[in-house]
């Protein structure tokens, strides 16, 4: 266990989880009935992305841009400089990114997938291979849209939900070495490493593993980038689980992580603690110049990149707030609290618990529903219909044949819900688990889907009618 100051000890020494903040503003939650929820999901084509926010009681679809900003962030937004070129807000943003990542070249984007699109438009292309521990949905789509092949190389323990390995997001470095050798280094434009590994249950990557991936990339002279959306949570798990880092601060660990990479993509809607924004940060000035050319074409001038000045001010503050040890302790304990509720209800989950979400193992809970009938989507819909809790399927609907597990992610929006909200979610999980055990949950089939990222807009229908 990492060494903690008295404030952290207070959090760990009592049963009750205390939010390290006060709430000054609230937003009303509506309570649609079960019948109203059933009608809503039918209108949405049985796709949870199609629901209106008023249809949902507890929204755990994503932690991306859904959190509450701090008083300091809101105050900082009042300083927003909306100058088209050379905005002071950009330089505040740039300095915060440099302080944490050490990368000199900082390119703002409206969110993380824009950074991915720019990067892979330049580095990707037919015949190329982009390895990762596990590509998340938009990363995989941007890689494959360029014509490249996205390859997942997470360690074997990362594919077993019940495994208690402390760093299940680690890359299989032997497999990475073999992948690059087989493809030819000239056909591997970049190696990506997602921290934490969202598609694999929000699992962290150890600093030791990041060093090992760096060594393989150096051996083959291949660039190495981090998908850094949840870098602060990953740093906290390193501090908590990697003995050599126990005395380091989260900022020091983040510095060490980024120092091993050549660049990163980042959605600031996660550990930037903001509602919009992202960036691409790099060491190489020549590659950065090419990226800025595309940025100007589709996002905006290099000192705003599709963001308002006030957004950049909020991100600059949020990036630093995300590294606060007291906040990180509260966040990971809050997620573990909900995980304990799921386990008490007899629902298998991905272990150990990650930082930003609880992942329910739908394949284990619903063994009679085959992958072709989308068991994770079936479980996600049941959680919504029975209790108004909106999660997201991370399985065969999202990833098709590339799916290694059938999971339902219940993401925790930052600084948004209280312990009583999670008590309610725990009750909903318990009720749905009982229905699963009695065979009341059936599968789904896809009736309409787009060419890319089908889970966002696909239309489905249940194989058996809901009662």
pLDDT value for 317: 98
pLDDT value for 404: 84
C-alpha to C-alpha distance for 30 and 405, rounded to whole angstroms: 33
- The answer to whether the CB of 147 falls within 8 A of the CB of 127 is yes
C-alpha to C-alpha distance for 231 and 244, rounded to whole angstroms: 18
pLDDT value for 1: 40
- The answer to whether the CB of 207 falls within 8 A of the CB of 147 is no
Residue 48's closest CA among 363, 361, 374? 374
Residue 357's closest CA among 448, 230, 267? 230
C-alpha to C-alpha distance for 363 and 27, rounded to whole angstroms: 35
Residue 326's closest CA among 2, 11, 1? 11
Residue 317's closest CA among 272, 281, 280? 272
C-alpha to C-alpha distance for 327 and 453, rounded to whole angstroms: 33
Bridge partners of 446? 460
Kind of pairing between the strands at 105-109 and 149-152: unpaired
Bridge partners of 154? 171
Phi, psi of 453 (to 5 degrees): 50, 55
User: HSE on the CB side for 175, CA within 13 Å?
Assistant: 12
Each residue's pLDDT, cut to its tens digit, for the chain (467 residues) gives 445 554 555 556 677 878 899 999 999 999 999 999 999 999 999 999 999 999 999 999 999 999 999 999 999 999 999 999 999 999 999 999 999 999 999 999 999 999 999 999 999 999 999 999 999 889 999 999 999 999 999 999 999 999 999 999 999 999 999 999 999 999 999 999 999 998 888 999 999 999 999 999 999 999 999 999 999 999 999 999 999 999 999 999 999 999 999 999 999 999 999 999 999 999 999 999 999 999 999 999 999 999 999 999 999 999 999 999 999 999 999 999 999 999 999 999 999 999 999 999 999 999 999 999 999 999 999 999 999 999 999 999 988 888 888 999 999 999 999 999 999 999 999 999 999 999 999 999 999 988 888 988 999 999 998 87
pLDDT value for 12: 61
- The answer to whether the CB of 296 falls within 8 A of the CB of 92 is no
Q: What's the pTM?
A: 0.93
C-alpha to C-alpha distance for 228 and 279, rounded to whole angstroms: 10
């Amino acid at each position: 266990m990492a060494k903690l100051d008295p404030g952290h000890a207070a959090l760990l020494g009592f049963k009750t989880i205390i939010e390290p903040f006060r709430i000054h503003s609230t937003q009303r939650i509506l309570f649609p009935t079960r019948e109203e929820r059933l009608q809503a999901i039918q209108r949405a084509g049985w796709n949870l992305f199609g629901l209106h926010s008023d249809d949902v009681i507890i929204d755990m679809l994503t932690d991306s841009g859904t959190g509450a900003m701090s008083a300091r962030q809101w105050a900082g937004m009042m300083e927003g400089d909306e100058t088209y070129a050379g905005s002071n807000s950009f330089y505040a943003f740039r300095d915060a990114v440099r302080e944490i990542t050490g990368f000199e070249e900082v390119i703002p984007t409206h969110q993380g997938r824009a950074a991915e699109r720019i990067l892979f438009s330049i580095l990707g292309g037919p015949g190329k291979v982009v390895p990762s521990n596990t590509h998340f949905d938009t990363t995989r789509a941007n890689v494959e849209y360029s014509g490249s092949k996205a390859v997942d190389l997470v360690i074997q323990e990362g594919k077993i939900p019940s495994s208690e390995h402390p760093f299940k997001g680690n890359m299989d470095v032997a497999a990475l070495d073999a992948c690059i050798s087989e493809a030819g280094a000239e056909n591997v434009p970049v190696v990506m490493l997602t921290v934490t590994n969202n598609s694999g249950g929000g699992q962290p990557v150890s600093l030791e593993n990041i060093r090992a991936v760096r060594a393989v990339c150096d051996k083959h002279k291949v660039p190495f980038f981090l998908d850094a959306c949840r870098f602060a949570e990953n740093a906290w798990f390193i501090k908590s689980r990697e003995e050599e880092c126990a005395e380091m601060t989260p900022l020091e660990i983040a510095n060490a992580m980024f120092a091993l990479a050549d660049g990163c993509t980042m959605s600031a809607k996660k550990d930037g603690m903001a509602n919009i924004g992202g960036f691409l940060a790099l060491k190489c000035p020549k590659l950065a110049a090419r990226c800025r050319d595309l940025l100007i074409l589709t996002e905006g001038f290099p000192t705003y990149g599709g963001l308002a000045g006030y957004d950049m001010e909020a991100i600059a503050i949020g990036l630093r707030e995300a590294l606060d040890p007291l906040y990180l302790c509260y966040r990971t304990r809050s997620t573990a609290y909900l995980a304990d509720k799921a386990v008490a209800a007899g629902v298998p989950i991905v272990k150990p618990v990650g930082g930003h979400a609880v992942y329910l193992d739908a394949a284990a809970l619903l063994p009679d529903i085959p992958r072709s009938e989308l068991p994770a989507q079936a479980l996600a819909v049941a959680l919504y219909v029975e209790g108004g809790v909106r999660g997201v399927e991370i399985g065969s609907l999202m990833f098709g044949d590339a799916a290694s597990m059938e999971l339902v992610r219940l993401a925790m929006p930052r600084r948004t819900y209280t312990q009583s909200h999670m008590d309610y979610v725990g009750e909903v999980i318990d009720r749905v688990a009982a229905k699963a055990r009695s065979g009341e949950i059936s599968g789904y089939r896809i009736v309409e889907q787009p060419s890319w990222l089908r889970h966002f807009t696909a239309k489905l229908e249940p194989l058996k009618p809901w009662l």
